[in-house]
Amino acid sequence: MRLRLLLLLAVCGAAAGAAVRTLSLRGRWRIRSGNGSLELPGDVPGCVHTALLQQNLIQDPYYRFNDLNYRWISLDNWTYSKEFKIPFDISKWQKVNLIFEGVDTVTKVLLNDVTIGETDNMFKRYSFDVTSVVRDVNSIELRFQSPVLYAAQQSKAHTRYEVPPDCPPVVQKGECHVNFIRKEQCSFGWDWGPSFPTQGIWKDVRVEAYNFCQLNYFTFSPIYDARAQEWNLEIESSFDVVSSKPVYGHVMVALPKLQTQQTQGIELQPGERVVELFVKINKNISVETWWPHGHGNQTGYNMTILFELEEGLSIEKSAKVYFRTVELIEEPIKGSPGLSFYFKINGLPIFLKGSNWIPADSFQDRVTSDLLRLLLQSAVDANMNTLRVWGGGVYEQDKFYELCDELGIMVWQDFMFACALYPAGQGFVDSVREEVAYQVRRLKSHPSIITWSGNNENEAALMMNWYGIHISDLPTYINDYVTLYVKNIREIVLTADKTRPFITSSPTNGAESVAEGWVSHNPYDKHFGDVHFYDYISDCWNWKIFPKARFVSEYGYQSWPSFSTLEKISSEEDWSYGSRFSLHRQHHADGNTEMLLQAGLHFKLPQSKDPLRSFKDTIYLTQVMQAQCVKTQTEFYRRSRSQVVQGEGHTMGALYWQLNDIWQAPSWASLEYGGKWKMLHYFARHFFAPLLPVGFENQDVFFIYGVSDLRSDCNVTLTVRLHTWSSLEPLCSRRTRRLVMKAGKATLLYEEPVPRLLKTCGKCTRQRCVVSFHLSAAGQLLSPTNYHFLSSLKEAVGLHKAHITFSVPATLLSRLPSVVGLVQWKERLRGHHHEGSAVVPGSILGASLQRSGVLSSSLTSEETIGRSCARSCSQGASEPGRPSSPSVVTHLCLI
Ligand code: BMA
């Protein structure tokens, strides 16, 4: 040992400035099945399923019924192994760690046949000290245990009482006891996803050798001091000091663009040390804040941090720092019982509009940066500003949050617990504590994350008694709930991060849940917190069925993905709505019937005798139904933002379920697996537009509200038109005088009894006519053209077959991915019209009425909207001490 230390000191002196060497263990490993009958190469990061697929040992796991055929993969106990040589003289390094950024999930880890540790939590980072075991040439082995068998064992070992649910509903074709393993909860099956409980090393792995001392991590939080009106930066750096004596030096932090530089002496005692720095941002330079998409720029500032320590050791890191504040406002509302529930960013109340994010693939190693960019850009292209990373998936990879920062997408971040009760024994809680501490540390520097949320629907599961718990056992489960989410997760989060709110669950009653002992007797109370709302049976065209709640963080309807997506993973015999395949892919009980029942309320169901035609038409119709249902509901929430009716309203968030798909199957998603836009996504682009006229009827009176997400009032003219179904020429058109649309409000713009509206327009009846309306200023469109159906479309009279043609300049196709979507839309419409139905949804109606069958002309009109909006909406005063972006208005008005 002494010799080793002497050697080390010599090295330290010699290797001035470079006290760490790393060896990545990414790449090829060997994978062996439990009984050794299968041996194959496999990539790290990766998993057994993708390795088997790469070696052609299995077919595409998503093909037809392969999710069931390949159950054996997750029931086996696999081993990953690798031999590796250290390319530097390992004996000269004082400390050697083996670091796993993520292991999925239950393993025993051996290095050179010595057990160096165990893993049982997919969401933790593992660092094993291998100083005494590592050699020049090494063999490493990870002996996995089947996650399914492990979960069953853990559940069995929990003998005092059951922790339900045991198994998912049969229709989900999943595995049991997922709540007993810290692994992606939906990997055991969900109501939109298959069961593929993967095994593998799903993130980076490396050997890290160092002398003297090593920087483990650094993280930072920008904090606004409202009293002094200045920004500060709290920086936390963690060191492992292996030197036997204290290490001295200094640290320099610089943010050149903010003319901020600070140097400070540091002293590191031996052992694991955390250094906290407090940097004051130069007050003379105005800091541009980070804004959500649609509200301003996403300005960030480069920061470098340089540690210069004794022995010539210097460590330099850089990062992008974004400045923004977030507050969750829960306060009394005039004329309403309960409390508000909304977010202020940089002091500005913002309506959160968007959707819920689930894992983009069952096999995380297939989720590339390009795929993430495609999906997240689609969210922004649909005018969303928020995604909720749902608690049944994974804490997403760094790239996801970097993209959200860049694109201005606010993230509601759940902790990974969903739709279940969870054990709260010491072992489980300890593991969760480490998971949470690590994830908060990894993610907290991202401005995009605006709130932490303890779990998905577990307060509701408990208090609405989803699992038939005996009333006398309730205190036990409540106690476990509070132990896990409040006494542990919440406590860790609030200690580590004071820059954003924490709520214990979604849905929750927020402050009211806290007041009721962290669990409310009805977490779906419309007067508090957020709600989730699903009703597939009632008529979705009737807005009265929707909850006028403070914030709606989940709601939605299912639809089928397009035929071109399904075709890739099915065969001809599967192509009918009643096929075994169609039933198999549907994981929500009665989902296929519900979709038809809902569609049948307003549309003629497909009539074709040709089975394939009929299948395609049905798929299409489910998408029309879904789009129209979510549109009606979302517009209801948006127009409720500044209303309180009978004590209900002040709705400040609408996040529909769900943005993306994990595989090709019917689901609530608006983006298909792979990223293709469903009809709903095109609708979302309109119903989330920053300026939107919303039409609806109440007792035979037609109303139009103007919803504005802008920061300044806007002068608009509203045009209301009546069209017969048989012509694209409006029958009547009327234009209001100049109206003021209040910034950040929903304002009543128009009110007229339907009989009078029809009467003033000659030949109109409810069945013959449809209403369209839009906002404009100085002859330029400021909003999407919206529409209101006066009768069910199955009763509409005068529909014609449309023959719409379009041309797309090739240059545009490559330049604008969102425009490609527009083309697909029109193809759909054309296909549909060939069949003789005539659903003419808003975006198409608007486009048709402008006779803009040609893509380039509709593009030009979007550009002009931006310009004219900039003219007609005056720039609002920015808040004191919080400069706004100069380009905000133009940016906002682009739809
Ligand atoms: C909510 C979600 C998911 C589910 C969805 C649709 O409850 O939290 O668990 O997939 O509804 O049923």
Give the SS3 label for residue 469: coil
Q: In the 8-state DSSP scheme, what is residue 559?
A: B
- What pLDDT is stored for residue 873 in this prediction? 56
- What pLDDT is stored for residue 206 in this prediction? 98
Rounded to the nearest angstrom, the distance between the alpha carbon of 154 and the centre of ligand 1 is: 25
Does residue 657's CB lie within 6 angstroms of at least one atom of ligand 1? yes
Mutation pick for ligand 1 pocket among 191, 389, 457, 464 (CB with most ligand atoms within 8 Å): 191
Q: In the 8-state DSSP scheme, what is residue 461?
A: H
- What pLDDT is stored for residue 689 in this prediction? 98
- What pLDDT is stored for residue 828 in this prediction? 36
Residue nearest to atom 9 of ligand 1 (CA): 419
Rounded to the nearest angstrom, the distance between the alpha carbon of 588 and the centre of ligand 1 is: 10
Which residue ranges of the chain lie beneath pLDDT 70? 1-18, 802, 804, 806-895
Cα distances (angstroms) measured from residue 229 to each of 281, 784, 805, 882, 884: 11, 40, 58, 9, 15
CA 59 to centroid of chain Cα atoms: 30
- What pLDDT is stored for residue 823 in this prediction? 32
Does residue 268's CB lie within 6 angstroms of at least one atom of ligand 1? no
The atom of ligand 1 lying closest to the CA of 190 is 10
Helices 842-849 and 679-687 pack at an angle, to 10 degrees, of: 70
- What pLDDT is stored for residue 727 in this prediction? 84
Sheet strands side by side (includes 126-129): 20-24, 205-210, 95-100, 126-129
Rounded to the nearest angstrom, the distance between the alpha carbon of 553 and the centre of ligand 1 is: 11
Are the CB atoms for 380 and 894 separated by under 8 Å? no
Cα separation, 884 vs 882, in Å, equals 6
Does residue 558's CB lie within 6 angstroms of at least one atom of ligand 1? no
**Element at 114 (helix H, strand E):** strand 114-119
- What pLDDT is stored for residue 843 in this prediction? 38
Q: In the 8-state DSSP scheme, what is residue 572?
A: G
Are the CB atoms for 305 and 251 separated by under 8 Å? yes
User: Counting beta carbons within 10 angstroms of the beta carbon of residue 650, is it exposed (0 to 12), middle (13 to 18) or buried (19 or more)?
Assistant: buried
Are the CB atoms for 26 and 84 separated by under 8 Å? no
Does residue 410's CB lie within 6 angstroms of at least one atom of ligand 1? no
Mutation pick for ligand 1 pocket among 358, 389, 419 (CB with most ligand atoms within 8 Å): 419
Q: Which of 380, 409, 382, 351 is nearest to 708 (CA)?
A: 351
Mutation pick for ligand 1 pocket among 187, 453, 506, 554 (CB with most ligand atoms within 8 Å): 554
Q: Is the dihedral of CA 602, 603, 604, 606 positive or negative?
A: negative
Are the CB atoms for 272 and 239 separated by under 8 Å? yes
Give the SS3 label for residue 695: strand
Cα separation, 649 vs 701, in Å, equals 21
For the residues of 239-253, what is the DSSP string, one character each? EEE-SSS-EEEEEEE
Q: In the 8-state DSSP scheme, what is residue 784?
A: P
CA 276 to centroid of chain Cα atoms: 32
Cα separation, 500 vs 55, in Å, equals 46
Q: Which of 239, 304, 289, 296 is nearest to 266 (CA)?
A: 239
**Element at 824 (helix H, strand E):** helix 817-834
Rounded to the nearest angstrom, the distance between the alpha carbon of 635 and the centre of ligand 1 is: 21
Are the CB atoms for 748 and 782 separated by under 8 Å? no
Rounded to the nearest angstrom, the distance between the alpha carbon of 533 and the centre of ligand 1 is: 10
Q: What do you get for the CA distance between the two ends of the chain, in Å?
A: 68
Active site residues: 457, 554
For the residues of 143-193, what is the DSSP string, one character each? EE--HHHHHHHHHHH--SS--S-SS--GGG---S-GGGSBS-GGGB--SSS
- What pLDDT is stored for residue 876 in this prediction? 33
Residue spans of beta strands (DSSP E) within 778-821? 780-781, 786-789
Cα separation, 156 vs 168, in Å, equals 17
Helices 591-600 and 611-639 pack at an angle, to 10 degrees, of: 70
Q: Which of 300, 302, 258 is nearest to 406 (CA)?
A: 300
Does residue 414's CB lie within 6 angstroms of at least one atom of ligand 1? no
Q: Which of 674, 741, 746, 687 is nearest to 714 (CA)?
A: 741
Rounded to the nearest angstrom, the distance between the alpha carbon of 176 and the centre of ligand 1 is: 18
Cα separation, 525 vs 533, in Å, equals 11
Strand pairing report for 79-85 and 137-144:
antiparallel
Give the SS3 label for residue 750: strand
